[in-house]
Amino acid sequence: MDKELNIALPKGRLGEQAYALLRDAGLECPALNDPGRRLIFTNREKGVNYFWVKPSDVAIYVERGAADLGIAGKDILNEYAPNVYELQDLGIGRCRMAVAAPEGFRDDRRVPLKVATKFVRCARRHYAAKGRDIDIIHLNGSVEIAPILGLSDVIVDIVETGTTLRENRLAVIEEVFPISARLIANKASYQFKEERIVRLTAALAARKGENA
């Protein structure tokens, strides 16, 4: 039982893609094909339990040892800096953190720049490195609306296809960092279950090589 692997998956499309990689690396769990409203899925034969959690919570489960492994976006890892091992870039969930502004935006450096974002630390770090004073407005979603309503000058947010920006007449003015999903591990679990975890990362890397 103690060598079972407990894996936190981010609920949604990224979690489904991540599960497909883990399944192909030998950790299938048929119960996940028909999840319904359940959140815990077990395959005793393979010695694996999957937890279906909110994407922004994956790192918390892993950091505190409720899960041995998890799949988390680089955005979450940069924002919360959890005390976990980052084992592998899975090459899925690719997008970017960017600064976006309304068309025709001009920065007036005499006043603090009003920045709306869900990613307060990422935004602070970005502007601190540039020596630009900012006034952070912490929102929880639909950030694109903030500049339209005059709540902020710019936003710092995730851009994937760019559709949300375009449809709200915003454009990227700066890249902050590229994002992809990472396999993360609890530090104690990594010691206790090292053999299984190393085998899994090797299988994932091999498959990534095949698909490259």
Give residues in contact with ligand PRP (CB under 6 A): 141-142, 144, 157-164
| Spatial distance between the Cα atoms of 16 and 9, rounded to a whole number of angstroms | 8
Q: Residue 95 CB, nearest distance to ligand PRP (Å)?
A: 7
Residue closer to ligand PRP (CB basis): 31 or 158: 158
Task: Report in angstroms the alpha-carbon separations of 56 from 45, 113, 199.
Answer: 30, 27, 27
Residue nearest to ligand PRP (CB): 141
Residue closer to ligand PRP (CB basis): 60 or 185: 60
Contact 154, 147 (CB under 8 A): yes
Residue closer to ligand PRP (CB basis): 163 or 211: 163
Q: Reduced to 3 states, what is the DSSP secondary structure of residue 118? A: coil
Q: Residue 97 CB, nearest distance to ligand PRP (Å)?
A: 10
Q: Residue 138 CB, nearest distance to ligand PRP (Å)?
A: 13
Q: Residue 179 CB, nearest distance to ligand PRP (Å)?
A: 11
Residue closer to ligand PRP (CB basis): 91 or 162: 162
CB contact set of 14 (below 8 Å; sequence gap of 6+): 55, 71, 73, 92, 93, 181
Q: Reduced to 3 states, what is the DSSP secondary structure of residue 111? A: coil
Q: Residue 103 CB, nearest distance to ligand PRP (Å)?
A: 16
Contact 2, 192 (CB under 8 A): yes
Residue closer to ligand PRP (CB basis): 87 or 181: 181
Q: Residue 157 CB, nearest distance to ligand PRP (Å)?
A: 5
Residue closer to ligand PRP (CB basis): 161 or 211: 161
Contact 179, 95 (CB under 8 A): yes
| Spatial distance between the Cα atoms of 30 and 46, rounded to a whole number of angstroms | 11
Q: What is the largest CA-CA distance in the chain?
A: 64
